Amino acid sequence: MKRTDSKGLSNPSNREKGFTNFEMLLVFLCVVLIVGTLIPAYLASNRLSAEREVGIRLAVIQEAKRDVMKEMNLILPRESRIRITDPVNPLHADKVTRLTLESPWRFQPEKPGPLGGSFNIGETFLEPPSSSLGIPIANLDELTPSAPNPEEQPQ
């Protein structure tokens, strides 16, 4: 016997009160599509940022090598100053490591980068540092905002 309300309509059963399987399937498909588009974008973004970090680390190593060469040439007598074609010895490599640890990025060139791989500081002061991943050196001038020139300000 069916139950009827005061208007003579039958009450819906428990099965009719909830979501249907089709509605649940639509919700599930929407969630899958959203997640399916976000995960590849997220992974690509992480890969790009890690590649940029490797390029920045290479640029920091290059700057540290220049600073070590300048520092050593201030200390050494004129006849024994370092030339850019001179090999990087362990003392110089330690100084490069010290400078990279003091930089804002704080890393050790001997340890692997964010994508794995290794860094090579170069055999000479002239030879640029490299990564086993083949990522080029970043330009640090493009990454740091320059202070506005007061002469160029409109008045």
Nearest residue to 59 (alpha-carbon basis) of 149, 154, 141: 141
Model pLDDT for residues 31-43, shown as the tens digit of each residue: 999 999 999 999 9
User: Helix H segments across 1-139?
Assistant: 14-17, 21-75, 90-102
Look over the chain and give the mean of its residue pLDDT values, rounded to a whole number. Answer: 85
DSSP H or E segment with residue 120: strand 119-120
**Taking residues 70-75, what's their average pLDDT?**
93
Model pLDDT for residues 21-33, shown as the tens digit of each residue: 999 999 999 999 9
Model pLDDT for residues 91-125, shown as the tens digit of each residue: 999 999 999 999 888 899 999 999 999 999 999 99
Three-point CA angle 95, 96, 97, nearest 5°: 90
| Predicted local confidence at residue 18, as pLDDT | 82
Three-point CA angle 22, 27, 33, nearest 5°: 120
Model pLDDT for residues 4-18, shown as the tens digit of each residue: 555 555 555 555 678
Q: State the pLDDT confidence band at 3, using cuts at 50, 70 and 90.
A: low
Helix (H, G, I), strand (E, B) or coil at 38: helix
Residues recorded for the chain: 155
Parse the chain into domains and list their residue ranges. Answer: 32-140
- Whether 60 and 137 have beta carbons less than 8 Å apart is answered as no
Residue 153 has pLDDT above 90, yes or no: no
Q: What is the pTM of this model?
A: 0.73
